[in-house]
């Protein structure tokens, strides 16, 4: 899509810009000067949220009518299904949060969670949705952080976001829930053994769900019912326990222990170890070996 500005000094148009990208989803946040977005039809489902200022959209409906709508901070979100034509303009500076969802991923998520195979997103939403906004901002911060939680954390948030949009902003119908319990003992053991064998890897929700032969959403819910923890909480706790074992052996340096237990760097390792134990890894080792 192309943006046309009210003046030609392009370098000054973005006061702030932040982006994040996964295979299924893209997010951007920016503070921009007055301008307009040319009419286009995206291959993605678009969700636009004004964080400050007023965004005016113009769309061509399936019946050929042109509709104009104003969105402002705290006043709602704008959803544009893939393939629908839209343009936008803003007369004053705005802060904007945008989400692009891949249609294939949305269809796959819908199928895995027993939604009807044929559905459409509503092409206009006027109410505020703080959950959508908060998940998008959390994913942006996660993507740009030096101490990322990893794929498992991002996957879980993306799944929650997609299911929330399907349930609340589409005409998809969900079949009655058939599984209310947790994982069977066998499946839970397989998942736990896989996690313990791969603590140094950046595990994804898809990795773990495939072992249990469940959709990502149902696996995450069943795992929590079985363990009382989210997959991310369980993984972090296991990494901390493994780190304690390695620290007690007094062989490996701290930076090597942080890598072998799946932490991105030593500072991330230290911060989480202190959160779980109240001690830094160095202090814990000294106390253990005293």
Q: How far is residue 88's CA from residue 79's CA, in Å, rounded to a whole number? A: 13
Q: How far is residue 182's CA from residue 221's CA, in Å, rounded to a whole number? A: 8
Q: What is the pTM of this model?
A: 0.79
Q: Which two tokens stand for residue 242?
A: 């493994």
29 bridge partner residues = 18, 97
Q: How far is residue 224's CA from residue 232's CA, in Å, rounded to a whole number? A: 10
Claim to verify: residue 165 and residue 47 sit in the same structural domain: yes
| Neighbouring C-beta atoms of residue 271, cutoff 10 Å | 13
Q: Residue 212, SS3?
A: helix
Q: Which two tokens stand for residue 58?
A: 């113009």
Claim to verify: residue 213 and residue 151 sit in the same structural domain: no
Q: Count the domains in the chain.
A: 3
Q: Residue 288, SS3?
A: helix
The values of phi and psi at residue 29, to 5°, are: -135, 135
Residue 180 lies in a domain: no
Give the domain-ending residue among 228, 258, 279: 228
Q: Are 232 and 149 in contact (CB under 8 A)?
A: yes
Torsion-angle region of residue 282: left (phi > 0), alpha (psi -120 to 50) or beta? alpha
Q: Are 42 and 103 in contact (CB under 8 A)?
A: no
Claim to verify: residue 121 and residue 205 sit in the same structural domain: no
Residue 22 lies in a domain: yes
Residue 144 lies in a domain: yes
Q: Which two tokens stand for residue 182?
A: 């947790």
Structural domain including 272 reads 234-289
Claim to verify: residue 241 and residue 224 sit in the same structural domain: no
Claim to verify: residue 254 and residue 148 sit in the same structural domain: no
Residue 97 lies in a domain: yes
Residue 65 lies in a domain: yes
Claim to verify: residue 244 and residue 113 sit in the same structural domain: no
Claim to verify: residue 133 and residue 238 sit in the same structural domain: no
- What is the residue-level pLDDT of the chain in tens, covering all 290 positions? 555 444 444 445 777 889 999 999 999 999 888 888 888 888 999 998 888 988 888 887 767 778 888 888 776 788 889 988 888 888 888 898 999 999 999 998 898 888 887 888 887 676 778 899 999 999 999 998 877 888 889 999 999 999 999 999 999 887 655 555 788 888 999 999 999 999 999 999 989 999 998 888 889 889 989 999 999 999 999 999 999 999 998 888 999 999 999 988 888 899 899 999 999 999 999 888 87
Claim to verify: residue 156 and residue 204 sit in the same structural domain: no
Residue 103's CATH number: 2.60.120.10
> In sequence order, which residues have a C-beta less than 8 Å from that of residue 262 and are 6 or more positions away?
150, 199, 200, 201, 202, 235, 239
Claim to verify: residue 222 and residue 242 sit in the same structural domain: no
Residue 179 lies in a domain: no
The values of phi and psi at residue 51, to 5°, are: -90, -25
Claim to verify: residue 105 and residue 21 sit in the same structural domain: yes
Claim to verify: residue 211 and residue 90 sit in the same structural domain: no
3-state secondary structure 102-156: CHHHHHHHHHHCCECCCCCECCCCCCCCHHHHHHHHHHHHHHHCCCCCCHHHHHH
Claim to verify: residue 152 and residue 244 sit in the same structural domain: no
Residue 112 lies in a domain: yes
């Amino acid at each position: 899509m192309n943006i046309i500005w009210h003046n030609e000094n392009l370098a000054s148009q973005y006061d702030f810009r932040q982006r994040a990208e996964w295979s299924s989803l893209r997010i951007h946040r920016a503070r921009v000067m007055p301008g307009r977005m040319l009419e286009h039809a995206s291959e993605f489902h678009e969700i636009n949220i004004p964080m400050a200022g007023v965004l005016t959209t113009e769309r061509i409906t399936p019946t050929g009518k042109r509709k104009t709508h104003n969105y402002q901070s705290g006043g709602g979100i704008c959803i544009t299904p893939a393939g629908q034509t839209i343009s936008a303009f803003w007369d004053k500076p705005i802060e904007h949060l945008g989400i692009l969802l891949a249609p294939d991923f949305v269809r796959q998520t819908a199928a895995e969670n027993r939604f009807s195979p044929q559905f459409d997103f509503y092409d206009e939403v006027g109410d505020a949705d703080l959950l959508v906004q908060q998940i998008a901002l959390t994913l942006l911060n996660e993507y740009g952080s030096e101490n990322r939680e990893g794929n498992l954390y991002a996957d879980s948030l993306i799944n929650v976001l997609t299911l929330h949009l399907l349930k609340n902003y589409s005409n998809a119908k969900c079949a009655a829930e058939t599984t209310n319990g947790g994982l069977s003992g066998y499946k839970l053991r397989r998942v736990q053994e896989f996690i313990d064998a791969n603590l140094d890897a950046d595990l994804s929700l898809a990795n773990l769900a495939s072992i249990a032969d469940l959709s990502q959403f149902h696996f995450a819910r069943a795992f929590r019912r079985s363990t009382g923890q989210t997959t991310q909480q369980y993984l972090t706790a296991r990494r901390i326990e493994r780190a304690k074992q390695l620290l007690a052996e007094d062989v490996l340096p701290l930076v090597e222990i942080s890598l072998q237990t799946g932490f991105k760097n030593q500072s991330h390792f230290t911060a989480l170890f202190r959160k779980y134990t109240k001690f830094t890894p160095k202090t814990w080792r000294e106390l253990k070996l005293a």
